[in-house]
Amino acid sequence: MVFSPRRSYLALFGALALFPIHNFASTIYGITLDDNLLKITVGPSSVSASLIGQLDTVPSGGSSSLGIGMLGGNLYVYDQNNQVLLQISATDAHTIATINLGISNTGEGDLAFAPDGTGYLVSTVHSDGSFDGTTGAMYSFATTPSSAKLITDSLGALIDGLTFDTSGNGLALEQGGATLDSISITGAISPIGGTGIDTTCGAFTCYSLGGLTFSGTTLYGALGSFSSPTSNFYTIDPSTGAATFLGSIPFGEVSGITGAASSGPATVPEPSTYVLMASAALAIMVRRRGRLF
């Protein structure tokens, strides 16, 4: 049978179709201290963000939002001004439910949900409202009224980022972003390592707000300050604490980020690998063109 160039192109497209197309970017959500809900796109070496909307608490004084977490596809932020948990819409940031957990005092910190659905909140302010600059408080909670339980009022570090992997191991980013810790559900903290992030207090480099989350198997950290109109994003190695700068977003005072963790996916080949695989498949077809074309 005569070889047909047209059929060879069709074979090439058929070969390419054998291999999946992967989107290497993922979406996480962020909240700022001035109550902006953000949609954040993170890739291997870049980050961008867009505004979903402001919380509907803003006209009445705002929430000074402390952290953001995701449970069962639902988003939750903690309203420091009114000391309540808010379930909010991922579409336009309006309040779906207001839940009084029974916590009286909070400061800067974060919230996150463990794989079993239990929520945890860390605060730089103690349960009595005091602040000593070195230790904080940690609570557990459910998404129901009066469910908060004080785990410890002497948390061994000031924490601005909190997250859990799929095995329930807790990770915490210390205020300022210099150190990544492991944190247990009993409030025990153990340093993993330094991030290498410049935390000196200069122009826009003194971070007092932040967040931490997994998206897939990648750990992301965010850091913001009261004086900067932008916030910085990093990937962080959960085994060493070493951070790699991704970029900045044009929203200041990020006080929490949340995504969805996943456990060990199969290794995804580089896109160039797919081209080589498809080319090899086509070469085999061409060699067999007496039967295929």
Residue 272's pLDDT band (cuts 50, 70, 90): very low
Half-sphere exposure for 92 (CA within 13 Å, toward CB): 4
Question: What are the phi and psi torsion angles at 21 (to 5°)?
Answer: -100, 125
Q: Beta strands 243-249 and 254-258: pairing type?
A: unpaired
Continuous segment of H or E residues that includes residue 39: strand 36-42
Amino acid at position 74, single letter? N
Stretch (H or E) spanning 287: helix 271-287
Q: What is the largest CA-CA distance in the chain?
A: 86
In whole angstroms, give the CA distance from residue 28 to residue 19: 27
CA 141/CA 209 separation, integer angstroms: 22
Domain residue ranges in the chain:
1-22+271-293, 24-267
Measured between alpha carbons, how far is 189 from 91 in angstroms, rounded to an integer? Answer: 36
pLDDT in tens, 126-182: 999 999 999 999 999 999 999 999 999 999 999 999 999 999 999 999 998 999 999
Contact 155, 133 (CB under 8 A): no
Give the model's confidence band at 25: pLDDT under 50 very low, under 70 low, under 90 confident, else very high: confident
Residue showing tokens 């463990």: 114
Angstrom distance (rounded) from CA 145 to CA 128: 20
* Helix segments in 146-198, DSSP class H: none
Question: For the segment 217-243, what is each residue's pLDDT rounded down to a tens digit?
Answer: 999 999 988 888 999 999 999 999 999
Architecture of domain 24-267: 6 Propeller (2.120)
- pLDDT of the residue at 21: 46
Q: Return the pLDDT at 67.
A: 94
Beta strand pairing call for 218-224 and 109-113: unpaired
Going by pLDDT thresholds of 50, 70 and 90, the confidence category of residue 79 is: very high
In the chain, what percentage of residues exceed pLDDT 70? 78
E strand spans, 124-217: 136-141, 149-155, 159-164, 170-174, 179-183, 189-194, 209-215
Residue 6 is predicted with a pLDDT of: 52
| Structural element, H or E, at residue 16 | helix 5-17
271-287 and 5-17 helices, crossing angle to 10°: 140
How far CA 266 is from CA of 14, 25, 199, 217, 263, in Å, comes to 24, 17, 36, 11, 10
pLDDT of residue 268: 39
pTM score: 0.82
The share of the chain scoring above pLDDT 90, in percent, equals 70
76 and 111 Cβ atoms separated by less than 8 Å: yes
